[in-house]
Amino acid sequence: MYGLDAISAHNGWHMAALGISIVFTGLILLSFTVAQLHNILRLFDNRDAYYKRIRGLFKKNNNKQEVSDSDLSLSNNVKEAAGQCKLLIERIGEPFPLPRLIELSEKCGMSHPYSTINDLILAGFIVPDGKGYYVWNQDEQN
Amino acid sequence: MENLLMEFISNTGFAMADYRHIIMITVGIIFIYLGIAKHYEPLLLVPIGFGILIGNIPVFKGLGLSLYESNSVLHYLYFGVTSGTYPCLIFLGIGAHTDFSTLLARPVLMLLGAAAQMGIFLTFLGALALGFAPKEAASIGIIGGADGPTAIFLSAKLAPHLIGPIAVAAYSYMALVPVIQPPIMRLLTTRKERLVRMEEPRVVSKREKIIFPVIGFLLCCFIAPAALPLLGMLFFGNLLRECMVAERLAHAARTSIIDTVTILLGITVGASTQADVFLTPQSVGIFALGAASFAVATASGLLFAKFMNLFLRKKINPLLGAAGVSAVPDSARVVQMVGQAEDPTNFLLMHAMAPNISGVIGSAIGAGILWSFLGG
């Protein structure tokens, strides 16, 4: 048997259509999964922050103070350091040069002042004033 | 004395050879020439070419010399082909060799690898229409996957009597990728399309690379369990490469194991092309369908890339579709070559590796599907 008759007789149309559909389905699923992989990993890495956010949503007391993203992403140590730095900045006065803040932090016995102050800059607590000095960001604190 | 001499002379290759042996020996020499002088897939064509010479020395039956005699050394070596062992070990080596970063960075390009597998199923229909039995048609169709180990694996399972012509056709066309693909690529794309530049892929983390082989294996093999032997080894090889704690095993898989298996596979597949079993009208049909399959696969990938561009905000270069056939890395190199012929500053190789690798996965899934449909 030859030609279209042979294809129909051996169920060829169905096998070909189903075969290519399965190949596409497999690779589309794999493609979708791979596309989400880095998002899933990011979610896993920030799981503490997300847990906190979810817990915050279910808190019974209607505390009007909203939890900001920066609060969630900072560890307790950094938040504590932010409090210390704020006191130091009040002492130095604003605007202040960054080396002066680092020097004072070292003198006050803050652990890892360089990385802590860097974290505070990244979190937006300390911002440049555009003239080579820095100021404490009141908005971020609130 | 005279009788003994006459008997010896009648048993020499000179006395037993006929025109078919001469044809096959010529084919073997051409393979060796193409491999050495033209650098067309030398790691494959040189062993296969020499294997063709080995298989076509006329020998008398009963001494255990021929590959098809059950007590011959070649027969034992050929067991790795008929059992599907060699293709799986080659997939292990490919996995240990391959960096999946480009595929992970732009997963949408995987669809091009799926589209190119249409060549397999359209050729399957073509072979059925030409009167081949369904199992033979499936084995011929898989040539369109442009993946030698997959073609051998499926032929060994469905049509072992066709392994020789199918393997030789698959590897010949793989070697001829730089000759077959460019005219189709130029025919189906405009100059403007060939000039499209791809955006820089994102950086892929080590964790993604480690997780991918596990997820890829589970997902693909749950969908097509019959692809387990090939995909299992491919993803396992890749995990060895990426996990960083099994570097010795990964090194062995991508060097000594794959090299040894390539030698054994090439020699035995070549030796299986004995004139009396190879030079048949069926083989001519297989070669013709194999060429058609390859062309259809290339065209499918290109056209699907153009179709995707209808929906994508950031257009992709349709030439990448041609890399969906899984001749790794030759078809990706051809994409780079054709792209650079239009714009020497356009680098497509890295991007073409994504559909190229997904083509390997797609053709293994395709083989698994055909095996599960017809293997019973």
- Is residue B374 within 8 A of residue B137, CB to CB? The reply is no
Best probe of the B interface among A4, A7, A30, by most B CBs < 10 A, is A30
**Residue-by-residue DSSP string for A9-37:** HTTHHHHHHHHHHHHHHHHHHHHHHHHHH
Rounded to whole angstroms, how far apart are CA atoms B355 and B181? 15
The model's confidence at residue B251, banded by pLDDT at 50, 70 and 90, is very high
Higher-pLDDT residue of B168, B76: B76
Rounded to whole angstroms, how far apart are CA atoms B315 and B328? 24
Q: How far is CA A64 from CA A12, A57, A60, A61, in A?
A: 67, 12, 12, 9
What does the pLDDT read at residue A141? 52
**B369 interfacial to chain A (CB closer than 8 Å):** yes
Rounded to whole angstroms, how far apart are CA atoms B268 and B270? 5
Model confidence at A112: pLDDT above 80: no
Q: Which of B111, B211, B369 sits opposite A22 (nearest CB)?
A: B369
Shortest Cα distance, chain A CAs vs residue B374, angstroms: 10
Helix extents (H) in B2-41 = 2-10, 13-16, 19-37
**A45 interfacial to chain B (CB closer than 8 Å):** no
What is the H or E stretch that residue A128 is in?
Answer: strand A126-128
What does the pLDDT read at residue A142? 47
Residue B364: closest CA among A34, A26, A16: A26
- Is residue B162 within 8 A of residue B139, CB to CB? The reply is yes
3-state DSSP percent of chain A in helix, strand and coil, to 5: 70, 5, 25
Higher-pLDDT residue of B292, A68: B292
Model confidence at B214: pLDDT above 90: yes
Q: Render pLDDT for A24-44 as a digit per residue (tens, 0 to 9).
A: 999 999 999 999 998 888 888
Q: Which amino acid is residue B6, in one-letter code?
A: M
DSSP β-bridge partners for residue A136: A126
Q: Render pLDDT for A68-87 as a digit per residue (tens, 0 to 9).
A: 444 445 555 666 777 778 88
Q: Token pair for residue B124?
A: 């399957």
Model confidence at B294: pLDDT above 90: no
Model confidence at B69: pLDDT above 50: yes
Q: Which of A7, A16, A27 sits opposite B362 (nearest CB)?
A: A27
Using a CB-CB cut-off of 8 Å, the residues of chain B touching A23 are 114, 117, 362, 365-366, 369
**B117 interfacial to chain A (CB closer than 8 Å):** yes
**Residue-by-residue DSSP string for B104-144:** HH-GGGHHHHHHHTHHHHHHHHHHHHTT--HHHHHHHHGGG
Q: Render pLDDT for B258-286 as a digit per residue (tens, 0 to 9).
A: 999 999 999 999 999 888 888 888 888 89
Q: Render pLDDT for B168-209 as a digit per residue (tens, 0 to 9).
A: 888 888 888 888 999 999 999 999 999 999 988 888 888 999
The model's confidence at residue A108, banded by pLDDT at 50, 70 and 90, is confident
The average confidence (pLDDT) of chain B is: 91
Structural domain boundaries of chain A? 3-45, 69-141
What does the pLDDT read at residue B108? 92
Rounded to whole angstroms, how far apart are CA atoms B258 and B261? 5
Rounded to whole angstroms, how far apart are CA atoms B4 and A90? 114
What does the pLDDT read at residue A62? 57
Residue B159: closest CA among B215, B91, B107, B81: B81
The model's confidence at residue A53, banded by pLDDT at 50, 70 and 90, is confident
CA-nearest residue to A29 within chain B is B219
What does the pLDDT read at residue B184? 95
Q: How far is CA B258 from CA B34, B94, B236, in A?
A: 22, 8, 14
What does the pLDDT read at residue B17? 84
Higher-pLDDT residue of A57, B263: B263
Q: What is the ipTM of this complex?
A: 0.87
Model confidence at A65: pLDDT above 70: no
Model confidence at A128: pLDDT above 90: no
What does the pLDDT read at residue B349? 92
Best probe of the A interface among B128, B205, B311, by most A CBs < 10 A, is B128
Q: Token pair for residue B227?
A: 């692809």
**A15 interfacial to chain B (CB closer than 8 Å):** yes
Helix (H) and strand (E) counts in chain B: 22, 0
The average confidence (pLDDT) of chain A is: 80
Over residues B225-234, mean pLDDT? 94
Of A21-25, B36-40, B155-159, B324-328, where does mean pLDDT reach its minimum? B324-328
The model's confidence at residue A7, banded by pLDDT at 50, 70 and 90, is very high
Q: Token pair for residue B272?
A: 């299986």
> Is A134 in a helix, a strand, or coil?
strand
Judge: domain A69-141, CATH 1.10.10.
Answer: yes
**Its pTM surpasses 0.80:** no
Higher-pLDDT residue of A137, B122: B122
Q: Render pLDDT for B316-359 as a digit per residue (tens, 0 to 9).
A: 999 999 999 888 888 999 999 999 999 999 999 999 999 999 99
Q: What percent of chain B has pLDDT over 70?
A: 100
Model confidence at B26: pLDDT above 90: yes
